[in-house]
Structure 1
């Protein structure tokens, strides 16, 4: 009877935590994390050999992992299959933990949110691409958000991937341009509750929060958290309240790379948003306002690389925006 009671309690606990998926590596700390976005399966993909050469412990897809743009799941599956068949990407899958979340084109519709009618089916197709097990709790939840924890206590990294599509309100437009909608939301209440739980009293030493679209930039007219300013402020307020150690934001979407920084009152360290996009195509070089930008914009094919030095006090992460043929375009040291 006691054994049965214990099993029941464990089952209840698992169900209570069913809105996340975790990867635990108990012994070896993670030191190298690579990330990127915007990979068109039809285009040449010259960066995979550079990424494989870095021998990352983790690869993070940040969205537009394919250009699907369809309500046909057969079409999405075929495009994911083409991406997955890339022989050098297959090398990365064999040597590295691959995790990720979607943005809009792999979700199924450009600039789409909760109005996309095939979101439930599309979620399962993306999880297939990411090799998420059939019995994973992530298969049962609504929304593709997830958390992954790596390394032993004292050298622990938590990667939180936010779903800014499944629950996101439709964009408010002025002609073709997006305009702020203070009443709109990005995450939905179930994801907000989950995120607060993941951040509160977390024992991780570094928290990496990935979002398909940029969190910090406010001025450009494209997709961004600032299209929903109340939700953006709620996110920053949550960080200030939970005070997770060593938070770094990652984003994609923009077909360029840049580093943005803000000071969040109460957080205790500068908050950086590292944008890496794209793996197969970028915008032409241009000027664009971003009062939070640190350094320059990068209009070359790129991926991001985080290197953690666990021996340094204070703890230091070096973030590079890298490109083809071992190029490095930006370097940002982040101390916590």
Structure 2
């Protein structure tokens, strides 16, 4: 979940050319040839743009083409780039839910003098009602044991000045409530956008915790700096990196491991979460 390409443009011919250039990159070609690639988008044609971006529908068609989404896929008919992907056999099933935090996102106003980049839109929405209902349905009807919910902008981390769900306080709390009310076992948020990587934990009043794994720095990274995040668990990683999530179904209890690795495959962050609600196959 990140900026698939950098294309601040209203020119769809130029956007098509930029995606084509990305597809010609040897590293990108090698990745697509070696594994299945899924995703959503962050900026969809202008930096930090939301529903006011006038070419959002045309831009959506381009990103779906870029990700080789078939012409008859239901996602082609939706307003927004959101989707689900389930893998694994019964009892060892993971469901990836990818949200679109741009297509329906209400406007925010730039703060020219404050420490925050934007004034919060207290009552603004991020997902749009159709996507909210879709998310609730996907969670309610899920048969998976682990749920990885992708949101291009960070949801838990709230103190940095950039694009984030905390710019929309009511929508952010709604997201947490929808996940909590769904009753699904073991939900974790995945996010990008920041050009840094980190693990965050949001502690609910009831004692439950919601983790967010941010991996953002495969091709660009921010310089090392102090970035406030009272929810952070472990180090802030400001280096070229990639994130890896590993489910160990044989462990007792089942574990979810979050790793951030550098350009030489060195470990920059490593945190293992025990999924106490799950038992390994054959366990009591």
Normalising by the smaller structure, the TM-score range is over 0.9
Structure 1 match to 2:278:
none
Which 10-residue stretch deviates more, 78-87 or 147-156?
78-87
Aligned counterpart, 2:42: 103
1:256 matched residue in structure 2: 196
Match of 1:155 in 2: 92
- Which runs of no fewer than 5 residues in structure 1 stay unpaired? 1-61
Q: 2:279: which partner in 1?
A: none
Deviations 1:200-243, CA, capped at 9 Å, x for gaps = 14110110011110000111111100000100000101111102
Partners of 1:77 and 1:273 in 2: CA distance:
32
| Equivalent in 226, 234, 246 of residue 174 of structure 2 | 234
Hey, what does 2:2 align to over in structure 1? 63
Distance 2:97 2:240 in 1: 25
- SS across alignment from 2:38: strand
Residue 101 of structure 2: aligned partner: 164
Which of residues 123, 132, 150 is equivalent to 1:192?
132
Is the 1:154–1:205 contact (alpha carbons within 8 Å) kept by the matching residues of 2? Answer: yes
- Residue from 305, 308, 320 that aligns with 2:259: 320
Q: Which residue matches 1:203?
A: 143
Q: Which has the higher contact order (CA 8 A, sep 6+)?
A: 1
8 Å CA contact 1:201, 1:242 repeated in 2? no
Q: CA RMSD in A?
A: 1.3
Q: Which string of whole-angstrom CA distances, capped at 9 and with x for unpartnered residues, describes residues 158-189 of structure 1? A: 10000000000011332162122211011000
Q: Residue 240 of structure 1 contacts residue 264 of structure 1 at CA under 8 Å; is this kept in 2?
A: no
Distance in structure 1 (CA, Å) of the matches to 2:86 and 2:64: 18
Kept in 1, the 8 Å contact 2:2–2:216? The answer is no
Identify which of 181, 184, 187 aligns with 1:247.
Answer: 187
Equivalent-residue separation in structure 2 for 1:170 and 1:328 (angstroms)? 38
**Residue in 2 aligned with 1:59?**
none
* Partner SS state of residue 85, structure 2: strand
Consecutive unaligned residues of structure 2, counting only runs of 5 or more, are: 276-284
Q: What is the Cα deviation at residue 265 of structure 1? A: 4.4
Q: Which segments of structure 1 move beyond 3 Å, counting only runs of 4 or more?
A: none
Q: Which residue of 2 aligns with 1:12?
A: none
TM-score, normalising length from structure 1?
A: 0.78
Name the structure 2 match of 1:220: 160
Question: How many pairs are equivalent?
Answer: 272
Secondary structure, aligned partner of 2:230: coil
Structure 2 Cα separation of the partners of residues 279 and 88 of structure 1: 11
CA distance in 2, matches of 1:269, 1:88: 40
1:144 to 2:84 alignment: no
Matched, 1:81 2:20: yes
Is contact 2:50–2:102 with CA below 8 Å preserved after alignment?
Answer: yes
Secondary structure of the residue aligned to 1:111 is coil
With normalisation by structure 2, the TM-score equals 0.92
